[in-house]
């Protein structure tokens, strides 16, 4: 199943309406998709409200049986270390907000061990998901825009990259072929070059190295774009030398 | 289109149910340390919702009580694993109850014949049970009102999946609607409900 298809399963998952195979696949995806995890939290809470609405009065006999039974049922131990992990991630919440969607796409294996539910999340993750649906549309609009210009460049390792810019649409699309996968625990991060100041334009899916990627955010006055290798989840500013820098073509 | 469906038509905030939540959360912390008195109080808050939800899925009163009992004992057993960061205590308990009831209904159906299609479509959720609790009545009224803001297909899909315990594939077959459409309706239906109910998680 494609990543875009997996995103639409948040509702079915929250309602426990996925057959086992698909549920397991979706849970694997949840571990690396913060925006999906946030949406699942909200939709599960919504489903619970449906449950509350059919509340019934429980008979006294049930109360007696349950209270008697628990006196000889051993409790499970808590899951050690979970809480600490949650708090240590809290400081990164702000950054996750802007990269939540990109991080979904960048299904970095290094994030696999992080318990999905433990993330502190930002309020705007929800909007990030609905924006995903507009992306493919925007890619098509940029590529077919009458004022679209293309600048190509050779990337490290013999890969080729091209950036297509439409100032009218005010968006840019990066197209790569044969890009090497980023090293373990790292992702490619895209940047707009605002005349020397790098402005983040999202992360690339490390598994899709032949894809058209819509750069996050408007082109505005940017004169070009760059790509750096960053730790999973991305960085606020480039922390390594760019693997590619491209000037935008002139219309 | 999601954009249109996301439009909030009615936003109603009734805090009746949530006011009990910090208490429940706090009580679960004590339950996690083996406090049986705290569990009694937890029981009194959650047993009605648990039984009501299980019964809406299983229908059979005796089987519903049996599963409700399993769920309530599981609350005791797994309280030390409850993570407030995952959502409210009531949410946790009801998710557990939903899973247990759905597991039961699916395994029962594997053994016996599947219920008649018309019977499934006919059964609307049991909203009209008498309850002495004002909070419950308000909650029910609010959910019913918000369900009315959904499109017919959204409402049918969500209620068949949640209250009947059907998988989205079964919902699709029952309604003769393509699976992709059902997935989307489950999601945008819940999103609309979330906005109408003012759910924050």
Per-residue model confidence (pLDDT) at position B109: 64
CA distance B109 to B46: 27
**Between B18 and B105, whose confidence is greater?**
B105
- Do the Cβ atoms of B103 and A100 come closer than 8 Å? no
Q: What pLDDT shows up at residue A179? A: 77
pLDDT at res. A147? 83
Average pLDDT, chain B: 82
Q: Which residue has the higher pLDDT, B126 or A126?
A: B126
Question: What rounded mean pLDDT belongs to chain A?
Answer: 74
Q: Scanning every residue of chain A, which has its alpha carbon at the shortest distance from the alpha carbon of B99?
A: A16
pLDDT higher than 80, residue A143: no
With contact defined as beta carbons under 8 Å apart, do A50 and B143 qualify? yes
Q: What pLDDT, on the 0 to 100 scale, is given for residue B3?
A: 40
Q: What is the spatial distance between Cα A72 and Cα B36, in angstroms, rounded to a whole number?
A: 11
Q: What was the ipTM of the complex prediction?
A: 0.83
Least confident of A89-93, A102-106, B186-190: A89-93
The torsion angle over the Cα atoms of residues A82, B162, B130 and A58, rounded to 10 degrees, is -50
The token pair that represents B158 in the structure block: 């969500």
Q: Which long-range contacts (CB under 8 A, 24 or more apart) does B13-18 make?
A: B13/B198, B14/B138, B14/B139, B14/B142, B16/B134, B16/B135, B16/B138, B16/B139, B17/A49, B17/A52, B17/B90, B17/B135, B17/B138, B17/B139, B18/B88
Which range (A3-7, A163-167, A223-227, B185-189) has the least confidence?
A3-7
Tens of pLDDT along A5-53? 788 899 999 999 999 889 988 998 888 888 899 999 999 999 999 999 9
Asked if the model's pLDDT at residue B192 lies above 80, the reply is yes
Residue A213 β-bridge partners: A174
| A198 vs B112, residue with greater confidence | A198
pLDDT value of position A221: 87
Q: How far apart are CA A153 and CA A162, in angstroms?
A: 6
Could you report the per-residue pLDDT of A69-98, keeping only the tens digit for each? Answer: 999 899 988 764 444 333 333 333 333 333
Hey, is the C-beta of B81 within 8 angstroms of any chain A C-beta?
yes
For residues A101-112, average pLDDT: 36
Nearest C-alpha of chain B: how many angstroms from A133? 9
At A232-241, the pLDDT tens digits run 888 888 888 8
Cα–Cα distance, B20 to A42 (Å, whole number):
19
Nearest CA in chain A to B70: A66
Mean pLDDT score, B68-73 = 97
* Residues in chain A within 8 Å Cβ distance of B158: 11, 15, 50
Most A CBs within 10 A among B19, B47, B78, hence the mutation to make, goes to B47
Cα→Cα distances A118→A34, B80, B83, Å: 10, 16, 8
Helix (H, G, I), strand (E, B) or coil at A4: helix
| Distance from C-alpha of A4 to C-alpha of B148, rounded to nearest angstrom | 29
* Range in A27-31, A144-148, A198-202, B7-11 with the lowest mean pLDDT: B7-11
Quickly tell me which residue has 């969500």 as its tokens.
B158
Q: Where are the domains of chain A?
A: 3-141, 149-247
| Among B161, B185, B198, the residue to mutate for chain A (most A Cβ within 10 A) | B161
- What pLDDT, in 10s, does the model give residues B158-180? 999 999 999 999 999 999 999 99
Predicted confidence (pLDDT) per residue in A160-210, tens digit: 778 888 888 888 988 777 777 787 788 888 999 988 888 999 888 766 555
Is a pLDDT exceeding 50 seen at residue B97? Answer: yes
């Amino acid at each position: 199943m494609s990543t875009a298809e997996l995103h639409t399963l948040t509702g079915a998952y929250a309602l426990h309406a996925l057959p086992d195979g698909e549920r397991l696949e979706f849970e694997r995806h949840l571990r690396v998709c913060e925006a999906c995890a946030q949406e699942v939290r909200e939709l599960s809470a919504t489903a619970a409200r449906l449950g509350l609405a059919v509340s019934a009065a429980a008979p006294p006999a049930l109360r007696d049986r349950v209270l008697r039974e628990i006196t000889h049922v051993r409790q499970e131990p808590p899951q050690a270390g979970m809480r600490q992990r949650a708090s240590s991630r809290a400081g990164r919440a702000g950054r996750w907000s802007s990269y939540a969607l990109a991080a979904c796409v960048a299904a970095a294996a290094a994030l696999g061990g992080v318990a999905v539910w433990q993330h502190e999340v930002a309020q705007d993750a929800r909007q990030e998901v609905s924006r995903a649906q507009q992306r493919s549309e925007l890619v098509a609009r940029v590529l077919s825009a009458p004022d679209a210009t293309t600048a190509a460049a050779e990337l490290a390792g013999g890969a080729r990259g091209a950036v297509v810019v439409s100032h009218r649409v005010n968006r840019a699309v990066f197209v790569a072929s044969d890009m090497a996968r980023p090293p373990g625990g790292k992702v490619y991060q895209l940047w707009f070059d605002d005349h020397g100041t790098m402005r983040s334009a999202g992360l690339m899916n490390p598994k899709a190295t032949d894809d058209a990627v819509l750069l996050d955010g408007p082109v505005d006055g940017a004169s070009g774009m760059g790509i750096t290798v960053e730790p999973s989840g991305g960085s606020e500013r480039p922390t390594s030398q760019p693997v590619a820098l491209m000037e935008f073509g002139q219309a | 289109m999601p954009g249109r469906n996301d439009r909030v038509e009615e936003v109603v905030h009734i805090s009746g149910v949530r006011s009990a939540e910090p208490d429940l959360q706090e009580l679960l912390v004590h339950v996690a340390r083996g406090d049986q008195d705290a569990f009694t109080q937890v029981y009194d808050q959650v047993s009605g919702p648990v039984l009501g939800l299980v019964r809406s899925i299983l229908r059979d009163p005796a089987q519903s009580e049996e599963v409700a009992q399993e769920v309530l004992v599981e609350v005791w057993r797994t309280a030390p694993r409850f993570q407030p960061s995952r959502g409210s205590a009531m949410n946790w308990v009801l998710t557990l109850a939903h899973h247990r009831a759905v597991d039961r209904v699916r395994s029962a159906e594997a053994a016996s014949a599947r219920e008649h299609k018309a019977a499934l479509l006919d059964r609307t959720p049991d909203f009209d049970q008498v309850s002495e609790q004002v909070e419950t009545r308000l909650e029910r009224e609010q959910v019913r009102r918000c369900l009315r803001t959904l499109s017919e297909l959204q409402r049918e899909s969500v209620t068949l999946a949640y209250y009947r315990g059907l998988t989205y594939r079964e919902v699709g077959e029952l309604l003769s609607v393509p699976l992709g459409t059902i997935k989307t309706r489950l999601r945008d239906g819940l999103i609309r409900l979330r906005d109408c109910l003012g759910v924050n998680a």
